Amino acid sequence: MASGCMYTTSHPSLCAPQSTSEKAKQIVGYKSVDDYVKSGMIVGLGTGSTAKYAVERLGQKLKSGELKNIIAIPTSEATKTQALSLGIPLATLNDHSVLDVTIDGADQIDKNFNMIKGGGGALLREKMVEVASKTFIVIADDSKLVRELGPGFPLPVEITPFCYEHTIRTVAGLPSLKGCRPVLRRGNVSNNKQDGNDIAITDNGNYIVDLHFDKKMSIKDALAANIELNNTVGVVEHGLFIQMASTVLVAHMADGSVSVLSPP
């Protein structure tokens, strides 16, 4: 079920000129911290263009004293760098195996709360941190809500460098993914734009193959695809996050309102 509200804040950075999409990301990122993070919590920090605003807001509230005794666990080296620049105390899963809450974005979300994540290349660390969290808050703008996963955003799969071409062929031939077009990610690992010639390397030293689906094809059975990918030797992790979210906050670009969605 969903409820809608107009979220406002007096923080000056929300009044700075921004694109509609960027403004929506900031609104929902700030709201997630304001509503779900309390003093004394262990907080997972997501990665990406929306999650960075949650990290920003957490830093602001720690600096102002509104939040205290926070320990945060980042899901990427990029997020770690941002958090350290903001003075956020950090730890790892080696220090804390259970988190109170993690806040992260998503690339696509279907009606069953199945998601594609990992466009930013941090899918392995994101999933490790998020499955260890008591509460997982997903933040996104309304363009990320889709009827079916696949068309419009490729599914990232992290694979070992060893015999990667073999693994790519194996993944592309899985029954639930048959017909997809696999593309080895090159250039900057934090996007799937093929903006360089060198193979992109994840924070974990692995490769990513992005599985593209045309408009007539989608991932019809995300649960089956999840199982098949999990059972494929050479696959380290994949970007299907199946019914993991506790709550999804959706910012509407048209008017800046935020809907709070609960699992079906």
| Residues taking part in catalysis | 126
Is the separation of the CB atoms in 89 and 141 below 8 Å?
Answer: no
- Name the nearest CA neighbour of 247 among 232, 230, 261: 261
- The span from the CA of 263 to the CA of 247, in Å, is 7
Which residue intervals of 86-189 are DSSP H helices? 123-131, 164-172
- Name the nearest CA neighbour of 31 among 194, 259, 263: 259
- The span from the CA of 69 to the CA of 42, in Å, is 9
Q: Which residue has the tokens 């979220």?
A: 7
Element (H, E) at 3: strand 2-6
